[in-house]
Amino acid sequence: MSSSNTPFEIHVHGEVPLRDDVTFEQLQDALKPLWKYSGAKSLAAAAESAYEEEPGIRFDANKHLLQMCWTVSGDEDFRQALDEMCMGLNDLAEAGAPIEVTFYDADFDDEDEDSEDDEARDDFAMYFVGPTPAAIMQVQRDLLVQDAIGLMERHFDGSELGEVVEAIDRLFERRFDDLVSSMQLGKPPRGSGGSSGGSGHGGGRKPRHLH
């Protein structure tokens, strides 16, 4: 997509552990929605970020790790590219992983004192990838526990929050059971809440409980 007249600067950030057998060619194919959106003809051509201080898109073959700290100009239609990317990465991921995406309003000037009614259209979304629905739910659960504990520790001692963690676990157990039941009945999986890449793989173990 051309960088002219694009309303957002979009930053993609995350690390995805990949299977040991994943090749650069497979990763390039999975990330095609991103580099094609940027107007490049290959992953290598699009790997550099719009900002020099950001490492861009990197494939660490030794650690079997995809690292993304990458900014591109775009519009709301970039969300479709993200959905397609998540589907591709699900088939390559070794474990569940979050991908943070921030949309910065490129036209907003926070130094313009005359634009009191003009608010930035910044937005933030969290995408998830993983080899199975259970792996995706596990990382969603872990992040939610971290956020909940971090918020509530302002008012309660950490030792008092075991019931909160148990309640979160029950919610995710119920969601996983509903997903398995819907797939067994041949129905589309129920939404998992928020923005996430569906795995396309069925069943698997339930997310483990970390107390």
Q: Is pLDDT above 60 for 175?
A: yes
pLDDT band at 201 (very low <50, low <70, confident <90, very high): very low
The answer to whether residue 109 is domain-embedded is yes
The answer to whether residue 12 is domain-embedded is yes
Strand partners, 60: 65
Give this prediction's pTM: 0.77
Q: How far is CA 194 from the centre of its chain?
A: 10
The answer to whether residue 157 is domain-embedded is yes
Is 150 in the same domain as 52?
no
The four Cα atoms 53, 106, 7, 50 give a dihedral, to 10 degrees, of -10
The answer to whether residue 193 is domain-embedded is no
The answer to whether residue 189 is domain-embedded is no
Would you state the pLDDT for residue 116? 53
Q: Is pLDDT above 70 for 133?
A: yes
Would you state the pLDDT for residue 110? 54
Order across the sheet with 97-105: list the strands: 56-60, 65-74, 8-17, 97-105, 123-129
Is 112 in the same domain as 21?
yes
Is 26 in the same domain as 61?
yes
**Of 57-71, 78-92, 125-139, 196-210, where does mean pLDDT reach its minimum?**
196-210
Please tell me the distance from the alpha carbon of residue 204 to that of residue 97, in angstroms, as a whole number: 17
Q: Are 106 and 56 in contact (CB under 8 A)?
A: no
Would you state the pLDDT for residue 84? 97
Would you state the pLDDT for residue 3? 47
The total of structural domains in the chain comes to 2
Is 36 in the same domain as 107?
yes
Would you state the pLDDT for residue 177? 85
> What share of the chain in percent tops pLDDT 90?
67
Is 76 in the same domain as 46?
yes
Residues of the domain holding 102: 8-129
Is 115 in the same domain as 48?
yes
Residue 175: CB partners within 8 Å, gap ≥ 6? 137, 190, 192
Q: Is pLDDT above 60 for 174?
A: yes
Is 99 in the same domain as 140?
no
Q: Are 198 and 189 in contact (CB under 8 A)?
A: yes
Would you state the pLDDT for residue 135? 93
